[in-house]
Chains A and B, each alone.
Chain A
Amino acid sequence: MSRVEAEALIARAFAFLPYVETSVKKLDTLRGRTVINMFFEASTRTQSSFEIAGKRMSADVMNMAVRSSSLSKGETLIDTAVTLNAMAPDVLIIRHAASGAAALLARKVGCAVVNAGDGSHEHPTQALLDAAAIVEALGSVEGITIAICGDVLHSRVARSNVQLLTMLGARVRLIGPPTLVPAMAARWGCEVFHDMRAGLKGVDVVMMLRLQSERMQGSFIPSPREFFWFYGLDEDKLRFAKPNALVMHPGPMNRGVEIDSEIADNQDISLIERQVRLGVAVRMAVLEALTTQGEPP
């Protein structure tokens, strides 16, 4: 994706936003189109977000239940996808625990494939909605300083955000313990900090990540309480950022581990709810871009 394409999608998302916030009008953009959600990992917001996005545009959305599918009978990922592909869907949306699963699938099917998160690799629509949230709150991503904090090593959200935000002209910092934010990450064009207070100085937006325990082999941090003491976002540390700094989180949150409850619930600084709302709009824009010539609603 290029900068122009990303900015276009974000702009489209804002155009769709009214349709998210009021459920009165429905769009015909995807009428007659079939969208299949293949979610191999648990998901509240992303799956529902895609489903609602599709339905708001009148698509036929099918949620494939992995547990009751033939996959539990030993059918491979590819075979399942090819089988579904033979029924000519328009879009396959896949989330999988293995990095690279989306790319693998895209090679084997003829329809459009959307990566809803593959292992620790990428989560493109999350990055788009995060960027959109920043644009909505601050007007632009260009020139702002964002700190992405926590389990960067295992986070697809971090990888996609680093890519997109630097592309859109932001200065990105990565903050976390050396075991979760390797010094090598500086090669992505970010500044790496292991001292959170030092890293938050002058930051406009703080993005917190969850500890991805399900992706960890062995222990990367000694304990959640030590993690929160040094790397959790609380009032004390937030004070080091710019006075009106905003707080984001892709969700789900582990309150008291990476983020203090009070901050997460503080409507004045937290963009978390906006992220979710914009998520539907962004996914509408993505589905539209993949299936139509893009007529305005």
Chain B
Amino acid sequence: MTGLKRTLIENARVIDPDSGFDGHAGVLFDQSGILDLGPHVTASAAPSAHDVIDADGLALMPGLIDLRVSIGEPGAEHRETLKSAGRAAAAGGVTTMVVQPGTNPVIDDASLVDFIRRRAVERTKVHVLIAAALTHGLRGKELSEIGLLNEAGAAYFSNGDASIADSRVLRRALSYATAFNAWIAHRPEDPWLADGAVMTDGELAMRMGLAGQPAIGERIMLERDLALVELTGGRLIVDMISTADGLEPLRRARAKGLNVAVTASVHHLALNQLEVVGYRTFAKLTPPLRTEEDRMALVEALKEGVIDIIVSGHDPRPAEDKRLPFAEAAPGASALETLLPGALNLYHSGLCDLMTVLRALTINPARLLGLPQGRLARGAPADIILVDLDKPFRFDSAMMQSKCKNSPFDGKLLQGQVKRTIVGGETAHVTP
């Protein structure tokens, strides 16, 4: 490495969810990591810095770690490539993202993990980790080579959007994966109750003449999944919980000390099913947006620590997949760029304190995967974002960096804008 470039950011409101520090301070770093941080770090005290940035009171926090990002590389590059996803991530303050296995071909072979890892390094500065497929072709029948995929560097294993109907398969998967200390992400959704459903079940679905899936479908599957975790001693990531009903078995699982991590998407924390009124397909998601009661219950669960991690659930869909009758439109939202402002909505509306929200976006996902980033400390990777926490703006999806502009936040007033994103000590994005 030819000469490390030292950068100093001073005059910032440094927020580190790991240590709980929130105060006026500066950070000194280079490409190798964070060298020093604290109130004593100022331009005058660090003459060796090549670059000095006056944060002018902006919030300085660890770059976000997004555990659930779907892209179209390989196989559907028109939706999103590693390069475009990297740009969207950097714009959204996401410095580490975990891509999902539902590509074409499905990432169920060690050589594909390797391929994506190498490609990612070439195409984007953002750290790319890979969730490998739990079953061959994500068909939910035969276990993929979990051991070999793990050795190739898979961050965790997932069956994608499809839940596994065959309990025996999930049981064996959970059991087998314990030999490698691997985490398995599973969508808690009863596949038959959800079959053909396009939104959540209830009065609104009935009125709109659309097929809905009942909230209990989540609880039913969760009960089964958690029982299997207890039986096998396996490690489960509950992939995007969305209902109040699903929280009760989770609380019991926590009390029992089971190895369970729980994620929720920013959409289910910030929005409810009313977004689909008018047949807005940009609000068609899986799992579907639920009632306001569900949303409030999820926020409470986040505060309680029952929900550990907030994900974007990034799922880019081009216009031709969305400009269809509601039932035929593809579900999904392009969300890397709305992860932070969407999550900050909870803080700005007074529902949740700032540290809890930020913890779920940084140190919690970092701890789950054993990553050194997600925190501001000497020696940690220099993955840093500068954020104007309070700046209000109207979100315009046309300005998105992602290849696809399908966001239910389009046109909404949000607060919180990423001003600068630094990955590995180098600036990856600056908002003009």
Q: A residues near B, CB below 8 A?
A: 177-179, 182-183, 194-195, 217-223, 225-226, 229-230
Minimum CB–CB distance for B278 against chain A, Å: 46
Known: A218-B169, A222-B142. Contact between A178 and B147, CB under 8 A? no
Does B49 have its Cβ within 8 Å of any Cβ on chain A? no
Does B292 have its Cβ within 8 Å of any Cβ on chain A? no
In the bound complex, how far is the Cα of B169 from the Cα of A219, in angstroms?
Answer: 8
Q: Which residue of chain B has its CB nearest to the CB of A178? A: B175
In the bound complex, how far is the Cα of B178 from the Cα of A195, in angstroms?
Answer: 11
Q: Which residues of B contact A219 (CB under 8 A)?
A: 142-143, 172
Is A177 a contact of B179 with CB atoms below 8 Å? yes
Does B145 have its Cβ within 8 Å of any Cβ on chain A? yes
The B contact surface, by secondary structure, is helix
In the bound complex, how far is the Cα of B108 from the Cα of A222, in angstroms?
Answer: 11
Known: A222-B147, A229-B147. Contact between A178 and B142, CB under 8 A? no
In the bound complex, how far is the Cα of B199 from the Cα of A261, in angstroms?
Answer: 57
Does B124 have its Cβ within 8 Å of any Cβ on chain A? no
Q: Which residues of B contact A218 (CB under 8 A)?
A: 168-169, 172
Is A178 a contact of B143 with CB atoms below 8 Å? no
Taking each of A195, A220, A221, A222, which has the highest tally of chain B beta carbons within 10 Å of its own beta carbon? A222
Q: Which residues of A contact B266 (CB under 8 A)?
A: none
29 contacts between A and B (CB under 8 A): A177-B176, A177-B179, A178-B178, A178-B179, A179-B175, A179-B176, A182-B175, A183-B233, A194-B178, A195-B179, A218-B168, A218-B169, A218-B172, A219-B142, A219-B172, A220-B172, A220-B176, A221-B143, A222-B142, A222-B144, A222-B145, A222-B146, A222-B148, A226-B145, A226-B147, A226-B148, A229-B147, A229-B148, A230-B179
Total residue contacts A-B, CB cutoff 8 A:
45
In the bound complex, how far is the Cα of B232 from the Cα of A220, in angstroms?
Answer: 14
In the bound complex, how far is the Cα of B176 from the Cα of A218, in angstroms?
Answer: 14
In the bound complex, how far is the Cα of B232 from the Cα of A182, in angstroms?
Answer: 9
Q: Which residues of A contact B144 (CB under 8 A)?
A: 222
In the bound complex, how far is the Cα of B282 from the Cα of A206, in angstroms?
Answer: 60
Q: Which residues of B contact A195 (CB under 8 A)?
A: 179
Q: Which residues of A contact B145 (CB under 8 A)?
A: 222-223, 225-226
Minimum CB–CB distance for B112 against chain A, Å: 15
Q: Which residues of A contact B232 (CB under 8 A)?
A: 178
Q: Which residues of B contact A221 (CB under 8 A)?
A: 143, 176
In the bound complex, how far is the Cα of B421 from the Cα of A231, in angstroms?
Answer: 45
Q: Which residues of B contact A178 (CB under 8 A)?
A: 175-176, 178-179, 232
In the bound complex, how far is the Cα of B182 from the Cα of A178, in angstroms?
Answer: 13
Q: Which residues of B contact A182 (CB under 8 A)?
A: 175
Q: A222-B144, A222-B147, A222-B176 are in contact. List 4 more A-B contacts (CB 8 A).
A: A178-B178, A194-B178, A219-B142, A229-B147
Minimum CB–CB distance for B276 against chain A, Å: 39
Chain B, residues 134-146, CB within 8 Å of chain A (1/0): the string is 0000000011111
Q: Which residue of chain A has its CB nearest to the CB of B108? A: A222
In the bound complex, how far is the Cα of B231 from the Cα of A179, in angstroms?
Answer: 12
Q: Which residues of A contact B169 (CB under 8 A)?
A: 218
Q: Which residues of A contact B147 (CB under 8 A)?
A: 222, 226, 229-230
